[in-house]
Amino acid sequence: DQQVKQNSPSLSVQEGRISILNCDYTNSMFDYFLWYKKYPAEGPTFLISISSIKDKNEDGRFTVFLNKSAKHLSLHIVPSQPGDSAVYFCAASGTGANNLFFGTGTRLTVIP
């Protein structure tokens, strides 16, 4: 059973606009959440993370929001750039855990 879900397999956004990628999780023991970005023929690269003690974390153009009561997190990219076109994976982990649980990914296309 998929504990981390990304229900949108793809998203297209115009350059300069906001991209919003969504992720839902089912396990209330998860307390650390990450976003990874993946280009074709490359491994996933870490983008941004958030601990469950926070509801927002910002790093430049990237902001992750966490809504614990809804078990939902989102990644906002503002402004979106063509180089942001990639597959984005949401991942979650619990304290002391030795595994990251990944979503199925959302392919973002930023149109110039």
Given the rule CB under 8 A, which of 10-18, 27-35, 62-70, 71-79 is the region that contacts other proteins? Answer: 27-35
- Does the footprint of other proteins cover residue 112 (CB under 8 A)? no
Per CB under 8 A, the list member of 27, 31, 57, 76 interacting with other proteins is: 31
Chosen residue from 22, 49, 57, 74 binding other proteins by CB under 8 A: 49
Which of 100, 104, 94, 93 is CA-nearest to residue 5?
Answer: 104
Q: Provide φ and ψ at 108, rounded to 5°.
A: -100, 130
Between CA 73 and CA 33 the distance in angstroms is 8
Which residue, 107, 108, 105, 97, is CA-closest to 52? 97
Contact residues for other proteins (CB under 8 A)?
Answer: 2, 4, 6, 31-32, 34, 36, 41-46, 49, 51, 89, 91, 93-100, 102-105
